[in-house]
Structure 1
């Protein structure tokens, strides 16, 4: 996240404490995105750490793997209490003053990249950095750096699909429902789905990229700095204003209820029976074990599939047509490669030599010198220009799916519900469609009000 605090040559590799011989230990905590281990992010991560410690012998990096069902609460509590580790997974709920603003560091050289003058220049600006408003927090600051980009997609077990008689192309939502029905009839799980929130969010947002597109021009009223204007994608401030003024509403914007209905249809038709009772994280094992036809996952899920005994491929989320929703207008699904993969912040309590060491670790990972082998092993998409995209990730970047839509969704869970499956009641049948929409509206109002307050916006609609 930050740049070197002292200028040095990439070749010399001396740490901040190197001149004095002092040893520095920095800590990093986050959820495990690559396997089900409670101890390690995997062999590729361990090699990455070893490579950094070899380059910087006076710095030790200690990694803590946090449980998938509690990491958000753990890190948010630690950030609030001032007890957070030095490096914190970026998606942890936090206030701007709980992390280090990295703007000035990103303007300094990354010593692990030859002839680099500004660290930020090596990032793919289509997804992070200069000109990309999504990279900034609500106050217009950089507060994290991405180790990789992530792209989502639906993985297909082509061997299983053939056994189930699914031989035609799957390009529409209706095609997917028909395929799931055939797979279920053949005795397999159509789509591996655990009790976590990710797949529900990804489904809902993919639907939103099509059905909500028509509203983007109306609510795109702020530039990336928060001033009146427009941005490439609707900013947080634009979405907050739209929700808090009622321009967009989970109860009165009709597309939202159709998005909920289609999400439930996918779960009812394709997901594991009684999916809410399946342990978080088990979906990946079900698909890699050859028991499911599909799984919705990220680009680095391919690292789970090394050596599997079946052929697999990937595809974008299918297109919603007028046979699925009266609000469909022919738009295809978009998600876009984004910097929401493995991204880390520096906690505000990190000072002195620990801050310098934390910055150096972030620089090392976001260089081909340090990060390429890890990207190759995990199938992750590089966030930087000097690294290459692994072949296993290339299929998730094709067509419009690889482009970020101007608007995916506008609902916002309050901090207390971060990481939860906010659609769960409706998906398992314990809450009606109207009740679910009303709950989402209440949550969105509260969530965006929190953002407005934390961001210090003084506009009348934000008060």
Structure 2
């Protein structure tokens, strides 16, 4: 995972390119899938495996290379050829083509594509490997992380670090507005957002919170994570029009847009924001007093040092779900074994090490400021943390935290919901019930076409 500008493009591309990725995966080579060892690496034979990943920054590459070096030291007969800065479209093309140049192990930032990786058998089912080594996945990985690495019973990937979303707030602005603690419910949040907003002519000197879906990280799925919706019913049909939590979220967000000045005024102010992953981020500059963001922001703020004190807390929850406070939306990086690989035994040893070795997970998390992805690593005394980062560790451990479920056509359903959100917040779509019904039908038709 990146703590750079590529992170947001990762989330956007993950949702937008689902159908294109599926077209590639549909004809992917599907090799053997056994946990018995098909490359003689277990007997000491020298084996070289190829590992493709998306990390590209020098610090990130240095961190993953350090873990690979530690793995090779522990497994002297398994050699790893690591190739970084690989996007999913290239992965899918290579898996489709197969051959000696195809990767054996693949890491992806795109959790939305897990449903396709699993359903097309582009990635091998890891359940036999886990069973062979006596690894209980449910006791090893937090539930939300485990959920976004499997599809319809196929555990075709495992978590490799994670992200969680919470609330960042300006302590100086809070004190000036007389707010003594972070809001826990959405009614408290709305009151705080209003109290923290300082008008300036037709704009703002300071905005309490930017609720628009085009704002940084204020997406439909991140907000919905605080409600715990059911995106699909038991038969796999879209549940967006039937689950009242979805309409509740959209109405909450629209109410916040209207109360803070309306869509046009907010969108004009949004156009003044600097780049998200820079010192010109609107929270860094004080243009907004509260923001929804991931754990990586703690490192950015520590580096850029804004001229005010700041703190983190879980993002608020609906008033009638106060018992779930502490939850948050989660996503992360996944890693799997190419079904076309002829070196799956050696590939599994690398995957197992990267995802379940506590020291490996902790050292990687420390290096790139992401969340560990196992229970043991989350509780490790070697984990570097402070009160602000601990917020996100607690979100990752929270039993109510959730994610968006995998789908056979990737994140296309998230794009459909987001498009409805854009139309509803701007006033283009005035009948929410009708919009939800049409969106659910659109999602069902797209999924049916993809199968």
Distance 1:77 1:335 in 2: 40
Once the two structures are TM-superposed, the CA of residue 149 in structure 1 deviates from its matched residue by 4.6
Once the two structures are TM-superposed, the CA of residue 183 in structure 1 deviates from its matched residue by 3.3
Of 142, 155, 169, which aligns to 1:142? 155
Of 136, 154, 161, which aligns to 2:174? 161
Once the two structures are TM-superposed, the CA of residue 176 in structure 1 deviates from its matched residue by 2.0
Structure 2 contact 148–406 (Cα < 8 Å) conserved: no
Of 289, 295, 302, which aligns to 2:291? 295
Once the two structures are TM-superposed, the CA of residue 100 in structure 1 deviates from its matched residue by 1.1
User: With structure 1 as the length reference, what TM-score do the two structures score?
Assistant: 0.65
1:122-271 to 2 correspondences below 5 Å: 123-124=140-141, 126=143, 136-138=150-152, 140-163=153-176, 165-185=178-198, 187-191=205-209, 195=214, 198-209=217-228, 238=234, 240-241=236-237, 243=238, 248-250=239-241, 256-266=246-256, 269=260
Does 1:25 pair with 2:20? no
Post-superposition Cα deviations, 1:135-156, rounded to whole Å, max 9, x if no partner, equal 6411x12111112354321122
Distance 2:333 2:94 in 1: 19
Distance 1:336 1:381 in 2: 15
**Where does structure 2 lack aligned partners over 5 or more consecutive residues?**
1-32, 200-204
Once the two structures are TM-superposed, the CA of residue 126 in structure 1 deviates from its matched residue by 4.7
Distance 2:412 2:271 in 1: 17
What residue in structure 1 maps to residue 3 of structure 2?
none
User: With structure 2 as the length reference, what TM-score do the two structures score?
Assistant: 0.66
Does 1:431 pair with 2:428? yes
Distance 2:310 2:281 in 1: 14
Of 60, 69, 76, which aligns to 2:81? 60
Structure 2 contact 167–314 (Cα < 8 Å) conserved: yes
What residue in structure 2 maps to residue 100 of structure 1?
124
What residue in structure 2 maps to residue 375 of structure 1?
365
Distance 1:278 1:79 in 2: 40
What residue in structure 1 maps to residue 339 of structure 2?
348
Distance 2:425 2:93 in 1: 30
What residue in structure 2 maps to residue 318 of structure 1?
316
1:2-41 to 2 correspondences below 5 Å: 6=37, 16=41, 19-21=44-46, 23-29=48-54, 41=60
What residue in structure 2 maps to residue 91 of structure 1?
111
Of 351, 370, 384, which aligns to 2:374? 384
Of 132, 135, 138, which aligns to 1:118? 135
Distance 2:121 2:407 in 1: 21
Post-superposition Cα deviations, 1:81-120, rounded to whole Å, max 9, x if no partner, equal 76985414251431342221111011123xxxxxxx4364
Does 1:361 pair with 2:354? no
Please give the root-mean-square deviation of Cα atoms over the aligned residues, in Å.
4.7
Query: What secondary structure does 1:431 align onto?
Result: coil
Distance 1:124 1:101 in 2: 17
Structure 1 contact 315–395 (Cα < 8 Å) conserved: yes
Of 280, 286, 298, which aligns to 2:281? 286
Distance 1:443 1:249 in 2: 8
Once the two structures are TM-superposed, the CA of residue 422 in structure 1 deviates from its matched residue by 3.0
Structure 2 contact 420–439 (Cα < 8 Å) conserved: no
Once the two structures are TM-superposed, the CA of residue 6 in structure 1 deviates from its matched residue by 4.7
